Structure 1
Amino acid sequence: MKLRDKVCIVTGSASGIGLAIAKKYVSEGAKVVIADLKLEAAEAAAKDLTAAGPGEAIGLAMDVTSEEAVNAGVAAVVTKWGRVDVLVSNAGIQIVNKIEDYAFSDWKKMLAIHLDGAFLTTKACVPHMKAQKGGAIIYMGSVHSHEASPLKSAYVTAKHGLLGLARVVAKEGGPDGVRANVICPGFVRTPLVDKQIPEQAKELGISEDEVIKKVMLGGTVDAQFTTVDDVAEVALLFAGFETNALTGQSLVVSHGWYMQ
Structure 2
Amino acid sequence: MSLAGSAAVVTGAGSGIGREIALRFAGAGARVAVCDVNAAAADATVATIRAAAGEAVAILMDVTDEDAVNEGVDRAAEAFGRIDTMVSNAGIQIVHPLEDFPYEEFRRVVDIHLGGAFLLTKACIRHMYPRKSGSLIYMGSVHSHEASPLKSAYVSAKHGILGLARVMAKEGAKHGVRSNVICPGFVKTPLVEKQIPEQARDLGIPEADVVSRIMLGNTVDGEFTSMADVAELALFLAGFSSNALTGQSITASHGWHMG
Give the whole-Å Cα distance in 2 for the aligned partners of 1:126 and 1:213: 41
Give the whole-Å Cα distance in 2 for the aligned partners of 1:45 and 1:19: 6
TM alignment of 1:36-115, pairs within 5 A: 36-53=36-53, 55-115=54-114
CA contact (8 A) 2:33 2:57 kept: yes
Matched, 1:178 2:177: yes
Moved over 4 A (4+): none
Give the whole-Å Cα distance in 1 for the aligned partners of 2:149 and 2:40: 35
**2:181 alignment partner, SS class:** strand
Q: What's the counterpart of residue 203 of structure 1?
A: 202
Give the whole-Å Cα distance in 2 for the aligned partners of 1:118 and 1:83: 19
Q: What's the counterpart of residue 243 of structure 1?
A: 242
Q: What's the counterpart of residue 121 of structure 1?
A: 120
**1:244 alignment partner, SS class:** coil
Give the whole-Å Cα distance in 1 for the aligned partners of 2:142 and 2:45: 28
Q: Deviations over 1:130-158 (max 9, x none)?
A: 10010001000000000000000000000
Give the whole-Å Cα distance in 2 for the aligned partners of 1:58 and 1:70: 15
Q: Deviations over 1:81-126 (max 9, x none)?
A: 1111000000000000000000000011011100110000000011
Amino acid at match of 2:196: I
Q: What's the counterpart of residue 21 of structure 2?
A: 21
CA contact (8 A) 1:97 1:203 kept: yes
Amino acid at match of 2:10: V
Amino acid at match of 1:7: A
Matched, 1:190 2:196: no
Amino acid at match of 2:69: V
**2:244 alignment partner, SS class:** helix
Amino acid at match of 1:179: R
Give the whole-Å Cα distance in 2 for the aligned partners of 1:166 and 1:21: 19
Amino acid at match of 2:122: K
Shift of 1:182: 0.3
Give the whole-Å Cα distance in 2 for the aligned partners of 1:57 and 1:5: 12
Q: Deviations over 1:175-202 (max 9, x none)?
A: 1110010000000001100000000001
Matched, 1:138 2:160: no
Amino acid at match of 1:38: N
**1:229 alignment partner, SS class:** helix
CA contact (8 A) 2:57 2:76 kept: no
TM-score (norm 1): 0.98
Shift of 1:56: 1.4
TM-score (norm 2): 0.99
Gaps of 5+ in 2: none
CA contact (8 A) 2:5 2:31 kept: yes
Give the whole-Å Cα distance in 2 for the aligned partners of 1:12 and 1:41: 9
Give the whole-Å Cα distance in 1 for the aligned partners of 2:190 and 2:109: 17
- State the Cα RMSD in Å: 0.7
Amino acid at match of 1:40: A
Shift of 1:59: 0.8
Count of residues paired in the alignment: 259
Gaps of 5+ in 1: none
Give the whole-Å Cα distance in 1 for the aligned partners of 2:243 and 2:45: 32
Give the whole-Å Cα distance in 1 for the aligned partners of 2:123 and 2:222: 40
